Amino acid sequence: MSGITAVKKIIISGILLITLIVISMLIGNYELGLNDLGLILSDIFQGDLQAVENNPDWSVLYYIRLPRILIVVLVGAALSISGAAYQNIFRNPLVSPDILGVSAGAGLGVALGLLYSSGSMFYVYLIAFITGTAAVALTYWLSQLADGKNTMFMVLAGIVVSSLANALISLLKYLADPMQNLPGIVFYLMGGFSRSGWQEFYLLLPVVIVSLAIILFLRWQLNIFSLGEKEAAALGVDTEKIKLIVIIFSTIMVAAATAAAGQVSWIGLVIPHITRFIVGSNYKYYLPASALLGGFSLLLMDNLARTISGAEIPISIITALIGAPFFAYLLITKKESGWS
């Protein structure tokens, strides 16, 4: 696919994402219209800040919807980028960002934080981030003990660590107070953005931006990596170094996303396939497109989660109900998005 065509598709993806962000600001239990949004913008441009602050529409928009929308976009982008990078370095189209245990590890941190952090959400996020990154560090260490140059051993080590973390999560659920702590743990791990605020956004933004920039900086090495690890090494790419850098920064993104939103399934597996089918496999275009389409897709699903019923549905239910059938469609129709 030519670069000009890919750039046009990235621009269209960006326009669609911006349009969906505007629509997402307006929909919800508290209805807003374009006229209400226009009035707020008019007051801001005129410098009438007192009128803006006294407007209840502004309170709903700024303190509730806008931070949630931005966090959803960041989480979708982080999961999609991580999935795209992992599928490259592991040379496997079935790899998702949680393959090395980061989601299970962060989920364990969430359970620990909700039980022992005295209700401080900042410490819940911090513990989840630490345990998520520690889980991947343990996975990498185990793979090095077995056979550090074989990615299959790393995947198997990730399965071991994920199983261990999930077992510990189940133990904490069993020990948790069923009236006070257990519901919070269960609903948090099911994923959702109802807790999203500006604090979460400011914690997540630099992690995603820096990690994306570093992975995008390695785009040429990742393109060569697509030829295979041996071929890339023969062409002068330090495959172990590139692999380690991608794992570190993908882990940081997914750990931060899981800490902020709980476990969100399927986005990191399905969206890279869709992106590859649309813009091709050149990482110069593939990574930015993955970020945009990941943010768009998760925002669309979050809108469904908070509007199709009176009570908000956990986001992982929506992503699984949509992602699993779509991935089955890709398999059945053999549209392998560049992996054939």
The 3 state secondary structure assigned to 19-47 is HHHHHHHHCCCCCCCHHHHHHHHHHHHCC
8 Å CB contact between 133 and 102: yes
Could you tell me the CATH number of the domain that includes residue 231?
1.10.3470.10
Q: Is residue 321 part of a domain?
A: yes
Q: Is residue 340 part of a domain?
A: no
Q: Which of 71, 122, 117, 78 is nearest to 96 (CA)?
A: 78
Residue 148 has a pLDDT of 57
Q: Is residue 106 part of a domain?
A: yes
- Type of residue numbered 174: Y
Residue 51 has a pLDDT of 73
Q: Is residue 299 part of a domain?
A: yes
The total domain count for the chain is 1
- Residues 321 and 329: their CA atoms lie apart, in Å, by 13
Residue 335 has a pLDDT of 52
Residue 2 has a pLDDT of 58
Residue 149 has a pLDDT of 60
- Residues 176 and 169: their CA atoms lie apart, in Å, by 10
Residue 334 has a pLDDT of 58
Question: In this structure, what token pair is assigned to residue 104?
Answer: 């299970």
- Residues 106 and 331: their CA atoms lie apart, in Å, by 30
Residue 149, SS3?
Answer: coil
Q: Is residue 338 part of a domain?
A: no
Q: Is residue 339 part of a domain?
A: no
Q: Is residue 304 part of a domain?
A: yes
Render each residue's pLDDT in the chain as its tens digit; 340 residues: 556 688 899 999 999 999 999 999 998 888 788 888 888 888 778 777 777 777 888 888 888 899 999 999 999 999 999 999 998 888 888 888 888 999 999 999 999 998 887 667 888 889 999 999 999 999 988 888 876 566 778 888 999 999 999 999 999 999 888 888 888 889 888 988 988 889 889 989 999 999 989 998 988 888 888 777 778 888 788 888 888 899 999 999 999 999 889 889 889 999 998 898 889 888 889 999 999 999 999 999 999 999 888 788 999 999 999 888 887 877 777 555 454 5
Residue 195 has a pLDDT of 84
Residue 147 has a pLDDT of 62
> Domain of 68?
3-333
Residue 183 has a pLDDT of 87
